[in-house]
Amino acid sequence: MIRAPLRFSSQVRALWVGLLLPLLLIGQALPGEQSARGSGGLTPEEEVIIGVYRAASPGVVHITSTVLSQDFFFRIVPERGTGSGFVVDDRGYILTNNHVVENADSLEVTLADKSKVAAKLIGRDPNNDLAVIRASVPREKLTPLRLGDSAQLQVGQMAIAIGNPFGLDRTITRGVVSALGRSLKADTGRQIRNVIQTDAAINPGNSGGPLLNSRGEVIGINTAIFTPSGGSVGIGFAIPVNTAKKLLPQLIARGRASHPWLGISGMDITPGLARTLSLPAKEGVMIAQVAPGGPAATAGLRGAQRRVRVGNFMVTVGGDIILALDGQKIMAVDDLTGYLDEQKKAGEDIRVDVLRDGKPLSVVVRLGELPEE
């Protein structure tokens, strides 16, 4: 039987064209999208990331630290750890985290050309988890990275991390600056201030590597992650590059950084604690201990006089309550250390406004230099 050819009404033909046309266009870029891509089919963002990687990755190094320890039979056993770092000048100085090189008996650096060279620890600052090492190599093998300005950062701008996560050399990840002004506690117990938070993937081995902006400038030193699982969950932290720029000359010249020291240990006063202990101030820092012979002791500041139980804790009370430094209101220990680190230097005088037995008192203290641990 011969079938007659099918005939479609104009409405049916229009319906088929409407259904088939999008299918025919799959895989073809729309005019606007095509104009947004370069000649190689890359988006402007992809070109930025590729450009940053090509320029900066040769300056990122893989650091291997070796610690000699003894096993059960008292045999010497080398234990190795890895991290990242980046070249800061053509003399071979490399910036990294203190925890990457701490206690290392030997250090080795793997450069971009895969060559391995011995490195020497030059200086470190545990209070900011920073360290400088040096590799003696020809200048032509070094690619120093440009240091940016972390004070100009804005939440939402691009953040690019390059490092060696899990030993995978020069891995790049991209995200944004998620938050600014975070505080992070160093191993020494002191707060690192103005820490950068980013969602660029950071994993073990990234420590000490650079966090960069879209211009390829270092804006931070990747140092820590928040993770319940041990891997990246999109919350990483970087020490601001301005902190490193401030300390770098000292670490190279002296091997350590100078931090102003008041010579006290203290406790934050909260409204609840003030109520429980009937304190004369609802906020501030109550001095618990005064270092013997330290700046505060020399100036006559007083520490705690007695211990009382608050719930399940013993609290030392009766010391001077610090309300302000040079007229700057102090609400917590973090405020106190932050003001000292950002505004003062060892050897300078500072006016400390306190409450002693409920009465206001001002004491001038000549700041010392924070002793090494």
Domains of the chain: 56-141 (2.40.10.10), 150-254 (2.40.10.10), 260-369 (2.30.42.10)
Q: Give the contacts of 196 (CB within 8 A, at least 6 positions apart).
A: 150, 153, 159, 177, 179, 180, 182, 211, 219, 220, 237, 238, 239, 240
207 is catalytic: yes
Per-residue pLDDT at 310: 73
| Calpha distance 285→269 (Å, rounded) | 6
Give me the catalytic one of 65, 99, 178, 320. 99
Long-range Cβ contact pairs of 252-255 (< 8 A, separation 24 or more): 252/93, 252/122, 252/123, 252/132, 254/123, 255/122, 255/123, 255/124
With residues binned 3-state (H G I as helix, E B as strand, rest as coil), the percentages for the chain, rounded to 5, are 25, 40, 35
The residues with which 69 forms a beta bridge, in sequence order, are 77
pTM: 0.80
Strands 171-185 and 191-198, sheet pairing: antiparallel
Look at residues 150, 336, 342 and name the one whose alpha carbon lies nearest to residue 239. 150
CA 222 to chain centre: 5
Question: For residue range 47-78, what is the model confidence (pLDDT) as tens digits?
Answer: 999 999 999 999 999 999 987 666 665 566 66
99 is catalytic: yes
**Residue ranges, the chain, pLDDT below 70:** 1-39, 68-78, 229-231, 373
357 is catalytic: no
The residues with which 220 forms a beta bridge, in sequence order, are 211, 240
Compute how many other C-beta atoms are within 10 angstroms of the C-beta atom of residue 46: 14
Compute how many other C-beta atoms are within 10 angstroms of the C-beta atom of residue 80: 11
Per-residue pLDDT at 9: 43
Both tokens of 331, joined, read: 């609400």
Give me the catalytic one of 125, 129, 335, 341. 129
Per-residue pLDDT at 187: 81
Give me the catalytic one of 178, 207, 232, 335. 207
Contact 122, 252 (CB under 8 A): yes
Rg (CA), the chain: 29
Compute how many other C-beta atoms are within 10 angstroms of the C-beta atom of residue 241: 28
